[in-house]
Amino acid sequence: MLSNQVDLNELKRYELEAKEKNRESWYLAYIMDQGEEERAKGKTVEVGKAHFETKTKRFTIIDAPGHKNYVPNMIAGTSQADVGALVISAKMGEFESGFEKGGQTREHALLAKSIGIRHLIVLINKMDDIQWDRERYLNIISTLKSFLLEVGYDVERHVSWVPIAGLHGDNMLHPSKDKNAEWYKGDTFFTILDELSI
């Protein structure tokens, strides 16, 4: 069973702090982003670590920076991982800016493979912002699949794809209850983690 790792009072404090900074949706990031610089900029700078448990395993989550200014920290964090979770945005424009030349999605996937991350779980986030548009999801997968094959990933055996709405927890621990998401019949993020043989 997933253990309750974050104190609810602490979470409420993070929520209030984020609201005061007009960053309401950032409060969950405050769990891992403890530094004032990180919270002010809305960017992970330092490698954060926390623990959680599923039905069968205990995990250490390593929150590595995604911004290009902090690539050395990203490499330091990723080098400690057995499994990579590549979180990307499904929002129009956001996926494209991350994937096109100069974006960080390509670099992160390439670095993860170079460092030796064999299993990659691609979490396509903000699906609620696009009303769980299945075509958009499949187009993103198609684009990423070609690139991951070029990088050297065995896409059929070692890459999993999950559409999520992280802010609401959809398809993270439990399947989404959003009617627009009924087309997705795959596993949740935590189910995939539980079933990995690492």
Residue at 9 is within a domain = no
User: Mean pLDDT per segment of 10 residues, for the chain of length 198 residues?
Assistant: 55 68 61 59 63 78 65 66 88 90 81 89 96 98 95 95 92 95 96 85
> Which token pair is 27?
């409060």
128 closest CA partner among 181, 182, 72, 59: 181
Residue at 88 is within a domain = yes
Residue at 115 is within a domain = yes
For residue 15, the model assigns a pLDDT of 67
Residue at 157 is within a domain = yes
CB contact at 8 A, 49 and 35:
no
β-strands 119-125, 58-63 pairing: unpaired
For residue 14, the model assigns a pLDDT of 65
Distances in whole angstroms, Cα of residue 150 to Cα of each of 110, 153, 170: 10, 8, 30
Q: State the residue range of the domain holding 180.
A: 81-195
For residue 3, the model assigns a pLDDT of 40
> Which token pair is 34?
């403890």
Euclidean distance between CA atoms 112 and 145, whole angstroms: 15
Its pTM stands at 0.76
Residue at 31 is within a domain = no
Give the CATH number, domain containing residue 113. 3.40.50.300
Residue at 173 is within a domain = yes
Number of separate domains in the chain: 1
* Integer Rg of the chain from CA: 16
Buried b (16+ CB within 10 A) or exposed e, 36-64: eebbeeeebebbbeeebebeeeebeebbb
Residue 144: Cβ within 10 Å count = 24
For residue 174, the model assigns a pLDDT of 94
Residue at 24 is within a domain = no
For residue 150, the model assigns a pLDDT of 93
> Which token pair is 58?
């205990």
